[in-house]
Amino acid sequence: IEGDYTIKFSVSTLENLNLYIRIEQGPKSLYDKIPIEEQESIVLYHVTRFYSGMNTAHNITLKTDYMYKFYFGRVSPISIMENSHVDISFSITDSEAVVFTIYSNQTLTPINNVNISKFGTAIDGVYQENLTIQSGVQYTNIGYAVIEHHRISELVDPNETVIPDPDPVNNTVFQKNIFSMPQEWSAGILAFFGGILLIVIVVVVKNRKKNVDFNERIDKFGRNRKKKPEK
């Protein structure tokens, strides 16, 4: 909160001294941790003073099919003499009363650091955020912001054709080999086997002619014997 703050300093020393104290205004809380390109997309930003066990809720309108980014950070220091342990519980309830638990007694990082989480929406409407802080000191300031990060469907196109991955390299695939020979070889082989076939035909014809001549001689010899007169 803004207003007049009282700052107390105490010094323990054996001698007198002059102490120089300078207070400068730094960047807006959490803004030094949120990238510049995301700062234009902030849909919720708060820095709240929490006492231990305090709960706060915010209603925000979120779009469907969007990824939102959440930043949480301690923005007030805690003395090293005190218990600096700070836990956060955080949940989101969508417009259909479905509760999503993001943090459950999650320890926040020390000051000057942030806890970051993301949440994707499936429906649009009014969402309720519930934040509870448990700490070892009476009060602590917590900053939190919600960023509209990107549209989910811009990363995954439901109409895009999915090409399956190729088979693993260790799978053996046998290639069909097609044998071919030069045209000259084909003509030579045809002439070779044609010559052999011609020789076989000639041999068969000649043997057949010899057999016919031999049979005719035998028949002629038999007829001549029958024609000889008896003495």
For 140-180, the pLDDT digits (tens) are 899 999 999 999 887 655 555 555 556 655 555 555 555 55
The residues of the chain scoring below 50 in pLDDT are: 231
Closest CA to 49 of 184, 139, 118: 139
CA pseudo-torsion sign 111, 119, 145, 92: negative
State phi, psi for 103 to the nearest 5 degrees.
Answer: -130, 140
Give the helix ranges, DSSP H, for 15-106: 36-39
CATH number given to 36-154: 2.60.120.380
Closest CA to 72 of 93, 100, 98, 50: 50
CB distance 142 to 41 below 8 Å: no
CA pseudo-torsion sign 209, 210, 216, 220: positive
pLDDT of residue 67: 94
Full-model pTM:
0.60
Residue 171 corresponds to which amino acid?
N
Domain limits, the chain: 36-154
Cα–Cα distance measured from residue 155 to residue 140, given in angstroms and rounded to the nearest whole number: 39
Cα–Cα distance measured from residue 17 to residue 11, given in angstroms and rounded to the nearest whole number: 10
